[in-house]
Chains A and B, each alone.
Chain A
Amino acid sequence: MLTYQFDWSIVTSGKYFQWLVSGLMMTLQISTAGIVFSFLIGLLIAVMRMSHFKPVRWFAHAYLEFFRNTPLLVQLFFWYFGSYKILPAFINDWLNTTNFEFAAALVALTIYTSAFIAEDIRSGVLSIPKEQLEAARSAGFSYLRAMQYIILPQAVRITVPPLVNQFLNLAKNSSLAMTIGVAELTYQARQIESYSFKGFEAFSAATLVYLVLSIVITALIHQYNTRILNPHRA
């Protein structure tokens, strides 16, 4: 016999609904900032990974291997519980006045995801025919300018589908931030469950919100890709 009494109204109105909305806002903040920063850092690491200057190349390679091959949760705990211990007291005093949970979560998600993005962008660059670089260099562009104006714009277009995957992973992985006390969507769903014992409704609602969020991110990037990046192929 099923004795559980469903009450969907608790997640569609009232206090708990407010909690879900505020959790979603936090998830959106972390995801948006994370997507922007991880893309920029990923781009930088990808270019460094292809540098002709060995120390720069090695640094980028070490960065990639390190952050790709260790668990995100451990990295998150390191940034939150470990990183500040080696900082001088006055910086710690200042950190205590800030939202350190949010910062640690953002740093962890950004760095972790940027390593994957860098590899995706690098394979995009490698798929651009070398003649494109020759054409750019023979026009007088330096290596970096050729990358900026000719190679990367093409590589990023090719890289859009894998990039969407990384962005979705970042948005979903932001749920781990609840473990260090960031009041994002999963954290709020857990709270609702603790207060109301309506775990089914709370986590169903959170699941649905993540699903919609992912679909919106995919659709936005798809629109951007077809309308703005590749207008002539539409």
Chain B
Amino acid sequence: MIKFQGVNKWFKKLHVLNNIDLHVRQGEVVVVCGPSGSGKSTLIRTINQLEPIEQGSLVVDGMDLCHKKTDLNKLRAEVGFVFQQFNLYPHLSTLSNITLAPTKIRKTPKKEAEEQAMQLLERVGLANKRDAYPSQLSGGQQQRVAIARALAMKPRIMLFDEPTSALDPEMIGEVLAVMQDLAKSGMTMVCVTHEMGFAREVAHRVVFMDHGVILEEAHPEEFFRNPQHDRAKQFLKQLLSPMH
């Protein structure tokens, strides 16, 4: 479904992605973690080409992203993206946030798009907020609407870029519940997150990155119990230490 082969990317002199090889299969849930500045956000943003790559090959849903003739708008319509800061459209109501892309890009009739949007709002538990504007919603609610907005395009892949990092602690659970539900429904997902509980529960694989390199790739149980790389051990220790 997503295949990185020898992918390299630089920001000026900074080597942000260093020879990345990664294969995500259909229906697989992959969690990417690592210290800040490790390149994990850049990695996930290359999958829908919010960040172009300089070297290597990247194929997503059968589309070769390095080929000049690939229609990026078509690719992006098939790949849902959820941002750390939600990025809802502030001038539109919850319902219009969700129906905008389906009606304008997929040409779904308005009524049908609204029915689908209401089903999605039910699914994320916000059916009563259909007419609210983003500024009237809490962070957790905004992020759930953002997930519904991405799902409204019926994407084949969902990408999450630190979806809970900007949330108050008591709102993280409601967003993770939606993501877990989605993972169990068989969606192909790549999530940049430090929510190790989520990783343990639903991820098929954990990818650990540092300095633009994938240092470790393992089943979550294995990764948490017995990390191989020193940098991963240190990272996990710091992540888990406040709990002890």
Residue A54 interfacial (CB < 8 Å): no
CA distance A132 to B76 in the complex (A): 15
CA distance A119 to B87 in the complex (A): 26
Of B50, B73, B100, most buried by chain A (CB within 10 Å of CB) is B73
User: 1/0 contact trace for B43-81 toward A, CB 8 Å?
Assistant: 000001010000000000000000000000110111101
Of A154, A232, A233, most buried by chain B (CB within 10 Å of CB) is A232
Nearest residue (CB) in B for A150 is B89
Residue A15 interfacial (CB < 8 Å): no
Interface set, chain B 128-175, CB cutoff 8 A to A: 132-133, 135-136, 149-150, 153
B13 → A minimal CB distance (Å): 23
Residue B83 interfacial (CB < 8 Å): yes
B73 → A minimal CB distance (Å): 5
Residue B105 interfacial (CB < 8 Å): yes
Q: Is the CB of B89 within 8 A of A232?
A: no
Interface set, chain A 207-234, CB cutoff 8 A to B: 229, 232-233
B11 → A minimal CB distance (Å): 16
Given A139-B105, A140-B74, A150-B89, CB of A232 within 8 Å of CB of B81: no
- CB neighbours (8 Å) of B88 from chain A are 135
Q: Is the CB of B104 within 8 A of A134?
A: no
Q: Is the CB of B73 within 8 A of A140?
A: yes
Nearest residue (CB) in B for A145 is B104
- Taking beta carbons and an 8 Å cutoff, which residues of B are in contact with A? 48, 50, 73-74, 76-79, 81, 83, 85, 87-91, 93, 100-101, 104-105, 132-133, 135-136, 149-150, 153
- Known: A138-B79, A139-B150, A153-B91; 18 extra A-B contacts, CB below 8 A, are A129-B87, A134-B83, A135-B81, A135-B88, A137-B76, A138-B76, A138-B81, A139-B81, A140-B78, A140-B101, A141-B73, A141-B105, A142-B73, A149-B104, A150-B89, A154-B89, A154-B90, A233-B135
- Taking beta carbons and an 8 Å cutoff, which residues of A are in contact with B? 129, 131-132, 134-142, 145, 149-150, 153-154, 157, 229, 232-233
